[in-house]
Structure 1
Amino acid sequence: MGRVVLSDIRMPKMDGLELMKRLNKEYPHIRIVILSGYNDFEYLQTAIQNGVSEYLLKPTDIDEFEEVFRKMKKKLDEDVERRLSDEEARQLREQKRCNALIKGYGYNEDEME
């Protein structure tokens, strides 16, 4: 199961840069999203060196969060599918399609047949 951490750069006791370094070292499978009010090249460079997936600048609106987490979910889903056999991946895609139809998303007459 994929994990995502959303962290600010400035925090008490441990800043976001230290947190991302520790996560990258101890839990390299965790995806990291940094939220910062600092449009500073040094912060961005450190984030990239430590495998940060996304870097959001404050103020961030809900649409930006939604887009970032939609991309993160897609990446995590792709990671899962890469680890599956062809048959398991096919079954997972079929299950997702069925779930979407049950929830009323992505209705398509061809898929319903």
Structure 2
Amino acid sequence: MLTLKAKRIIDSADVIIYADSLVHPSVCEGAKAGAQVIGSKTLNLDEITELMVGAATDGKLVARVQSGDPSIYGAVLEQMRLLEAAGVEYEIVPGVSAAFAAAAVLKTDSRCRRCRRR
């Protein structure tokens, strides 16, 4: 699940690199005309980084769309370090946690029982 902020970034990006083995292609349906949309399942880390750094150096807005929690997913840290080494500024925009999404679908409270009493 995407946040509204993530959707705005994807829709305004010049280059969208998305994990097409894990992310549904409909996530990129709002891409602006002329945006370059690239699936990353056949790319290695160096190729992905080269695309991101090259586009950013050209002044383009790049959206790197991945699945999973950015605080757990190891490739995010690797990409962050490579972008920093190249002097590219970036922002991590997390999605909606599966725990909160599940609670919403189940129409339940995601807080612990003790917290609900307060």
- Tell me the TM-score normalized by structure 2: 0.29
Which one has more relative contact order, counting CA pairs under 8 Å at least 6 apart? Answer: 2
**Given the two structures, how large is their TM-score scaled by the length of structure 1?**
0.30
**Structure with higher helix content:** 1
